[in-house]
Amino acid sequence: MKYMIMMFGGLGETLANRSPEWISGMQKLMMEIDGELRENGELVASDALVDPAQATTVRFHNGAPLPTDGPFAEVKESLAGFWIVDVSEERAIEIASRAVAYIEFPMEVRRLMDHQPPQS
């Protein structure tokens, strides 16, 4: 099964009260986990996102899409990055738990939908 592991927070103002050593440790841990996932063949895709202050949110307003600067959610609730892994649910939770134990920001583990080709 494929799972998306999403990290929230850990960008911009959410890091204001963290020491440079903590930030360095977080970056090291994330790179370590990413490397292990690649080495084990478990990683399908991964990426980090820029600070949510650079986001554009598109809403439906007065019958039309309306783009506005900035994120819809508070910074602490904004998606910071993700891994897509091909593992068991237990393993996906294990990966997220390892990161959360250090970063203390929430991570969400969600299974990707199966897209089976139509039967003829």
Q: Is 119 contained in some domain?
A: no
Q: Is 118 contained in some domain?
A: no
Per the prediction, the chain carries an average pLDDT of: 87
Domain containing residue 79: CATH number: 3.30.70.1060
pTM for the complete prediction? 0.81
Q: Is 68 contained in some domain?
A: yes
Query: What would the mean pLDDT of 83-101 be, rounded to a whole number?
Result: 96
Q: Is 120 contained in some domain?
A: no
Q: Is 116 contained in some domain?
A: no
Q: Is 65 contained in some domain?
A: yes
Q: Is 48 contained in some domain?
A: yes
pLDDT at site 72: 58
Q: Is 14 contained in some domain?
A: yes
Which helix or strand (DSSP H or E) is residue 93 part of? helix 89-103
Question: Is 90 exceeded by the pLDDT of residue 3?
Answer: yes
pLDDT at site 24: 92
**pLDDT tens-digit readout, 12-36:** 666 778 899 988 998 899 999 999 9
Number of domains in the chain: 1
54-75 in b/e burial notation, b at 16+ Cβ within 10 A? ebeeeeeeeeeeeeeeebeeeb
**pLDDT tens-digit readout, 37-87:** 999 999 999 998 887 778 888 889 999 999 988 665 555 567 888 999 999
Q: Categorize the per-residue pLDDT at 105 as very low, low, confident or very high, splitting at 50, 70 and 90.
A: confident
Burial (0-12, 13-18, 19+ Cβ within 10 Å), 85: buried
Q: Which domain holds residue 46?
A: 2-111
